[in-house]
Amino acid sequence: MIVLGVILLLIGFFAGVPILWTLGLILAVVGVILAVAGGTGRRVGGRAHYW
């Protein structure tokens, strides 16, 4: 999810499409939050790992 967010950020930035930039930012932030929550040993959505 983090990688997809970064890809959308780059495409949105270079192509000048603000919706892709916004979606990429949201995906990257959610991915980082899930990675941090999973890394601390907390279950995310009933799973130990979200991937």
Mean pLDDT of the region 4-32 = 91
- Locate 39 and state its tokens: 């890394």
Per-residue confidence band for 50, with pLDDT thresholds at 50, 70 and 90: low
Percent of the chain residues topping a pLDDT of 90: 41
The percentage of the chain sitting over the pLDDT mark of 70, rounded to a whole number, equals 80
What per-residue confidence (pLDDT) applies to 37? Answer: 79
The identity of residue 24, as a single letter, is: G
Q: How far is 37 from 51, CA to CA, in rounded Å?
A: 13
pLDDT level of residue 34 (50, 70, 90 thresholds): confident
